[in-house]
Structures are given as C-alpha cells and as structure tokens.
Structure 1
C-alpha cells in the first residue's frame, strides 16, 4: 500500500490528525518557508509519536554539520534534501528531492536511499502547490523502488498520481491547507483516499 507523508507541519493539532488517520511520515521544514519550524519545537510536538511513524526533516542545500545538529535536536528519522545535493552520508536515511522534468534519467544514488520527484521551485524549494507535467517524465526512467511523489498533490489528483507513478510514498503539504494553514479535514481525507478507506 502507498505510504503518506504529511509535510510542513507546525501545530500539535495537525500532527495529531496526521497520526490519528494513519500518516506514515510527518514532514518538518527547516529551510526558509512560511512553514519553517525550529528543531526544539518539532521535538516537543512529537514527543508522544508512535515508533512506526517517522519524522522527516526538509532542508535546502544544507551542510552535513547543519543537518546533524538538527537531526539530534529534533530526533529525526530521515532527511529530505532540496537544492545542492549533499555528497556526504548522514546518520539517518536520505531522500534526494529533484524537479520532475523531461529528458532526465532518475536513479537513487549514494548517499541517498530515496528519490522524491517534486515541482520545480518557485519562491522557495518545494511546496509551490503546483504539479509538474507527469507525462513529461518517462516512467521507464524512474526507479522501481524507493520513489516518492510530491508537487501539488491534493484529494482530487492523488489517486491519479498513484495510478501513474506507483510510488512508494506520496508527499503533500499545500494540498492539505486552506489559506496556507493545515486543514485538519483535508489531512484526514487525503490519507483516507490514499489508504482506500
């Protein structure tokens, strides 16, 4: 079954809703964004988190030192890297975020364990709320395992994204927001649609 990451979380209510309805990953943005959060707050928001739910830190062009400091404070399980790829291996599994576009062969390469296809950046990396042209990406050029899909997903299009890409995980942020704030009903419905409930 496809896994779900609810990203850009900043409140206890949104975290609790994602957990209640079966999110597999919770995403926290440490890069510049209106969703940016401090590592210590992530630790507070997730101190009762079930072990099976994993915390993902989202970064743009970080140094390994910066990454490891946040991993330790926020107690992260994975890190998602946008922008300049990090060449060193972190202490937790790594997700490489790349824009979905044509004429590019995608593969999971060390030190990364996962590949995330996202919309091309606008003001900030990731989280633009827009989809990329799925059909411009040749499915044959994508890894068969460890593929995550993001970029403008919402309750209207996530099933189509799953049918097209067969990803391991779908990743949503703006698609479960109303006026740039997490919408608890949208979080619930998004997870239910993905999980087929």
Structure 2
C-alpha cells in the first residue's frame, strides 16, 4: 500500500489532526518558504506527535552541520534535501535521507542514478522554485522508475488526481501539502478525504 506524507506542519492543530488521521510521515519545512518553521517550534510539535508517525525535515542548500544539528535537536527520522545538494553531501548524514529532484523531461530522471539516498522525491520543475508550487508534472515520465527506487511522489497531488498518479507511478510514498490546506492552514476534512482516497487504492 502506498504510504502518505503530509508536509508543511506548523501549528498545534496540525498535530491534533495527524494524530487522528495517522499518515505514515509528516514533514517540517526548515527551508525558507511560507511553511517554514524553526527548530524550537518543530520540536514542540514533534513532542506532541504520535510516535508511530515518522518525521521528515525539509532542508534546502544548508551547511551540513546545521542540518545535523536541527535533525538531532528535533529527533527527526528522515532528512529531505530539496536543493542543489551533491551526491557527496547527501552521504554525510547518519539518518535516512531523501533527495528531491525537479522533473522537467525524461532527462531529469537520469540524475537519480548519481545518488545513493534511501528515497528519491520527484517534484514538478518550475523555474526558480524548489517545490511547494502545487503543480503536477507528466507522471508517465516516472512510470517505470519505482521498480528500482524508493520513490516519493510530490507536486500538485490532490484527492481528485491521486488515484491516477498512483496508478501511473506506483510510488512508495505520496507527498501532499497545499491541496490539504484552506487559507494557508491544514484542513482536517481535506486531509481526511485525501488519506481515505489513498488507502482505498489497491
């Protein structure tokens, strides 16, 4: 069964929601964005989180020592690198690491072979953006890659398109953020519908 990551948690209510809905992963964004959170607030939220839900920290072109310090301070399970990090940089961490790749065309996926991370997150290429755009990419480009790699599919996923996305890509994890929000806040009803839809897909 495809696992679920809800990304961009910032508020106490977000933790209440995910503790009820039980996604497999939740993400905290330490990169500069509208969902950015500092390590103190993230730790406060993580301390309230159901321990069966794995925590993912999202970083973007940070010095490795800062990533390590935040990951240890917050007790993160997974480090997600969303910038221009090199394969050598990705090997510096003693925690499970996911590397994000922006998919523009079939050549975009060749870069995955240069990395030896546990997970490979596929997001939509938007010039000047590093994710969180709410836009999808051509999933057919990634229709075979999940047979050989642990794929996390992101980029514009919603209750309406998730069945098609999973059918085509067959990812290990689907990653959602903006489509389960209302006015910039996580929406319990939208999260519930998304999670229920994913878990009904065989």
Q: Distance in 2 between matches of 1:101 and 1:141?
A: 15
Post-superposition Cα deviations, 1:11-66, rounded to whole Å, max 9, x if no partner, equal 11112212311200010000111100011111111213333211000111122111
Call closer, same or farther: CA 1:38–1:64 in 2, change over 3 Å.
same
Once structures 1 and 2 are overlaid, which stretch shifts more, 140-149 or 75-84?
A: 140-149
Total equivalences in the alignment? 196
Quote how far apart the aligned CAs of 1:124 are.
4.1
What are the within-5 Å matches in structure 2 for residues 144-159 of structure 1? 144-159=148-163
What is residue 9 of structure 1 aligned with on the other side?
A: 9
Going from structure 1 to structure 2, the CA distance change for 1:62 and 1:48 (only over 3 Å counts) comes to: same
**Relative to structure 1, is the Cα distance of residues 143 and 59 closer, same or farther in structure 2, using a 3 angstrom cutoff?**
farther
Displacement of 1:141 after TM fit? 4.6
Structure 1 alignment gaps of length 5 or more: none
Query: Residue 56 of structure 2 contacts residue 80 of structure 2 at CA under 8 Å; is this kept in 1?
Result: yes
TM-score, normalised with respect to structure 2 = 0.89
Q: Distance between the aligned counterparts of 2:156 and 2:179, measured in 1?
A: 6
Give the alignment of 1:1-197 within 5 angstroms: 1-86=1-86, 87-88=88-89, 89=91, 90-104=93-107, 105-106=109-110, 107=112, 110-121=115-126, 124-135=129-140, 137-141=141-145, 143-196=147-200
SS at match of 2:144: helix
Q: Unaligned stretches of 5+ in structure 2?
A: none
Shift of 1:110: 4.5
Shift of 1:129: 0.8
Q: Is the 8 A contact 2:14 2:186 kept in 1?
A: yes
State the superposition RMSD in angstroms: 1.9
